[in-house]
Each structure stands twice: as C-alpha cells, then as structure tokens.
Amino acid sequence: MAIRYPNGKKYSEKRILKTKKNVNKKDSRYSNRGMSLEEEINESNQYYIAHGLANIHKKPTPIQIVNVHYPSRSAAVITEAYFQKASTTDYNGVYKGKYIDFEAKETKNKTSFPLKNFHDHQINHMIDVIKHGGICFSILRFSATGETFLLKAEYILSWYDQNEDRKSIPKSYIEEHGSLLKQGFLPSIDYLKAVDSMIDCQ
C-alpha cells in the first residue's frame, strides 16, 4: 500500500530533491496525469494488489535518523535525519510464487542510458538475486520520448561486465534486448506482461 501524506499526495524523494521545497506544496500533477515513473509504478502496483495479480511494493526510502524529539502527549518527532543511498533495489515482491526484484530509473539522454544511475551495491544485489533464482530487471524510461523499457538484469550485468570503461548503455542495446512497455490508464505501466515472458523462458 502506498504511503500517503497529510495532503493526500504520495511522497516522492526525487520530487523533494528536485524542487527543494516543502513536500506539502500543492501541485496539479494528478489532474493532468503527468506522473513520474515512480508514481506510475506505485499506481500499477496498487492496481495489481487490488486485482489480486501480484504483491509488489516500493521499499521505504532509507533514512539515517540522528535526532528524535519526544514531546509529551504527542508522537515522536524526528528533528534531524538524512537521505541514504539504497543498498538494494527499490521494488520487490511476489508474483506467481516467484520473487520479483527491480529498480526504476529515468534519463533525459536520448541515445543511451547512463550506467552511473546504478550504484555498485545495486549491481551486486542484482547478481545475488539472480543467483538465488529471483526474477530481476530494471524499468528504464527515456523521458525525452516517453518510452519505457523492461530490461532483464542479466543484460545490464552482461553490458556492465563487457564494457567496464563505458559510461552508459546504448538505447539500441536496450531496444534489442528489452521489452517496450505499453503505457495505459490502469495500470499505468503493465510491466507484469513482460515478466510473464521472463517466467516462460525460465
């Protein structure tokens, strides 16, 4: 279930970091459905849960808590904390008995996807998940064209291994080995269809 905040909006770390403004600030993105990739995936996951198709969640943002204040008769208030880098991927859950694990990333680049978007911890996590028989992939969006691909982690790792000096994955490689995801109304991104073909190939 998505975490909802007092203003009824979902929290998006990227949004905070980008706008550098209070998260309570109202915006109109829900009316024009100009959602971020993260919001679209969260909405798709809610749809999958509500329709009994899968149980997949975004993990909470890892926060380093430094100070907590305990006012009398009120809830504890965290008064100093910092965002942390995730050591795993952002999303995981269960679908048809299988362990599902993925990361979602966007780029403004038009012809390639920067590999710096993947931390070493996340690369190691992907390798480990595959080793244990989980289904691991990334959802990659080229925001300039709005195209969204599902790329199996095996292809990301294989590129990573063979091209240590390269800084990005060419879009042509993603088009060749990934699945272009159709965007719709509900769910916004029906990525489970692409996962089905991964399960069939196992």
Q: Using the structure block, give the residue that is written with the tokens 């029906």.
A: 190
Residue number, 100 or 189, with CB nearest to its own copies: 100
Q: How far is the CB of 113 from its own copies (least distance, A)?
A: 25
Residue 16 within binding range of its own copies, rule CB under 8 A: yes
Q: How far is the CB of 46 from its own copies (least distance, A)?
A: 11
The number of residues that bind its own copies (CB under 8 A) is 57
Which 8-state DSSP code applies to residue 70? Answer: -
Written as six digits, the tokens of 44 are: 């798709």
Separation between Cα atoms, residue 161 and residue 1, nearest integer Å? 36
Which 8-state DSSP code applies to residue 63? Answer: E
Residues in CB range of 133: below 8 A, 6 or more apart: 99
Pairing of strands 91-95, 179-180: unpaired
164 is in an annotated binding site: no
Residue 155 within binding range of its own copies, rule CB under 8 A: no
Q: How far is the CB of 135 from its own copies (least distance, A)?
A: 9
Residue 144 within binding range of its own copies, rule CB under 8 A: no
Handedness of CA 142, 130, 122, 66 (dihedral sign): positive
Stretch of 22-30, 149-157, 158-166, 182-190 lying at the interface with its own copies (CB under 8 A): 22-30
Nearest to 126 by CA among 105, 146, 97, 148: 105
User: Where does this chain bind its own copies (CB under 8 A)?
Assistant: 1, 3, 5-6, 11, 16-17, 20, 22-24, 49, 52, 54-55, 57, 59-68, 70, 75-84, 87-88, 92-101, 121, 125, 128-129, 131-134
Query: Which residues are part of a known binding site?
Result: 88, 90, 103, 122
